[in-house]
Amino acid sequence: MQIRYFAWVRERVGREAETLEVPAAVTTVSGLIDWLAERDESYASAFAERDTIRVALDHEHVEHDAPLAGAREAAFFPPMTGG
């Protein structure tokens, strides 16, 4: 799965994108966040404020309980402000 990170999520992880083999046991966005946060301290820091992180699967905004089945890309970003 292609994983993309934006804004401060990208800064904390230290990269803007990567391709990962997500374990079959990871079936939801929330599970993906949990799995990523366990990878190392930089990911744990990036996902520490999980309730504020927005997610898109294949360019469609979804909730954290959304299933990953069939998704090719997940993007994580903080809330945006307009102006």
Any domain includes 12: yes
Amino acid at 59: H
Mean pLDDT of 46-58: 94
CB 2 within 8 A of CB 17: yes
Any domain includes 70: yes
Any domain includes 53: yes
> Is it the case that residue 82 has pLDDT exceeding 60?
no
pLDDT value for 23: 96
Nearest Cα neighbor of 39 from 22, 25, 52 is 22
pLDDT value for 79: 79
pLDDT digits (tens, 9 = 90+) for 12-38: 999 999 999 999 999 999 999 999 999
The tally of domains found in the chain comes to 1
User: Three-state SS string across 24-67, please?
Assistant: CCCCEHHHHHHHHHCCCHHHHHHCCCHHHCEEEECCEEECCCCE
Q: Which residue range forms the structural domain that includes residue 7? A: 2-77
Mean pLDDT of 59-77: 97
Mean pLDDT of 51-62: 96
